[in-house]
Amino acid sequence: MTHDAMIDEWYPVGLFSQLDTNARKTALMGRPIEVAVEAEGHARVTSGDGRSLPVCVRYGHVWSSLGKPQKDLFAIPEADQPGRTLVDVGVIRVRCSPLRAVENFLDIAHFPFVHTDILGAEPHTEVQDYKVEVRQDADEVWATQVKFYQPQAAKSASGGITTEYMYRVPAPTCCVLYKTCPPRPGEWDVITLFVQPLAEDLCDVWPWMALFDDATPMTDLIHFQQTIFLQDRSILENQIPRLLPLDPGMEIPTRADLTSVAYRRWLKRHNYTYGAQLVAQ
């Protein structure tokens, strides 16, 4: 384990569909990079010093790394399931730690206060116990049996329902959310949060979705998700400290924060500390 354990991970650096031969100038973990898609359709990522970086294209995005990824990008089998609408939501820049953006995505207790009348509403604020584990085979954090009352769980939902969720953290700055799918009982809608760490306290968030919803226009799906993330941004940019504390000495986690604690423990275990605060203050 080295200090920069996160350096060898894959990170999203752009939407494949929006790239062309004109390089998109962006950054990865404090270093300038350029991302382009060449005429023959290959994605190319170059570091500021002219080095060609590892590349893969998956889930609508171009992924890259400053180091040497030891594994392929994590799998999302549902992405290839027929009948799903794949939604490239776009990018939202947030002035916070990339790890904070993931932690917030794992949190349901804020729904009634931050996404009022959409993902939650008072007085339905109680967070029932749910299960959290680190799946050893894949080395991922999973939270299951997460249930929450929602006035409008999805664009395709009308009226309030109790929605069930599963959360999965397959990489330090990525999270996959599975959520009951109103038009198709038995299936799960997939909503992901891919976070590009620009710096320890600045990130580009790339939500992406694979839904069973052929009724709602694409622009409405994108809008719905953007509205949600803009609400989250107003929180994320106003949390103290800006980095994610791995020592909760200045905080008071409760059972509702079980996923957050499991995520932070997992980060700590792997020495994934880019964007983390190590000593509480």
Partner 1 sequence: MTILGDLDALSFVPWIRRHAAKLGLSQAISHTSSQRIELEVAGPVDLIDMMELGCSLGPFDVWVETIHRTPVDGGGDQVRDRPS
Partner 2 sequence: MPARTPVGPIALWRSQSGRAAASADRCPHRGMRLSHGFVRGEALSCIYHGWSYARAGNCLRIPAHPGLAPPETIRVPTHEVEECDGVIWVAVGEATAQPPRLQGVVPLRSLTAHAAVAAIEAAAGAKAGVDGFAWQPQSKLQIRLLLVPQGAEETLIHVLLDDDSSLSQRIAASRAVETLRRTAEDLETKATAP
DSSP 70: S
257 binds partner 1 (CB under 8 A): yes
Beta bridge partners of 190: 178, 210
Taking CB under 8 A as the criterion, the residue among 110, 147, 184, 265 binding partner 2 is 110
Instruction: Give the integer Cα–Cα distance in Å for 195 and 204.
Output: 6
Instruction: Give the integer Cα–Cα distance in Å for 241 and 14.
Output: 28
134 binds partner 1 (CB under 8 A): yes
Q: Applying CB under 5 A, which part among 55-63, 198-206, 209-217, 225-233 lies near Fe ion?
A: 225-233
If contact means CB under 5 to 8 A according to the sort of partner, which of partner 2, Fe ion, partner 1, none does residue 232 touch? Fe ion
If contact means CB under 5 to 8 A according to the sort of partner, which of partner 1, partner 2, Fe ion, none does residue 134 touch? partner 1
Task: Decide whether 135 or 255 has the Cβ nearer to partner 2.
Answer: 255
DSSP 89: -
216 binds partner 2 (CB under 8 A): no
Question: How far is the CA of 87 from the CAs of 14, 75, 212, 224, 260, in angstroms?
Answer: 14, 17, 11, 12, 26
256 binds partner 2 (CB under 8 A): yes
7 binds partner 2 (CB under 8 A): no
Taking CB under 8 A as the criterion, the residue among 255, 269, 278, 281 binding partner 2 is 255
Task: Decide whether 170 or 245 has the Cβ nearer to partner 2.
Answer: 245
Question: How far is the CA of 94 from the CAs of 10, 14, 32, 39, 196, in angstroms?
Answer: 19, 15, 18, 32, 10
Positions that interact with Fe ion (CB under 5 A): 232
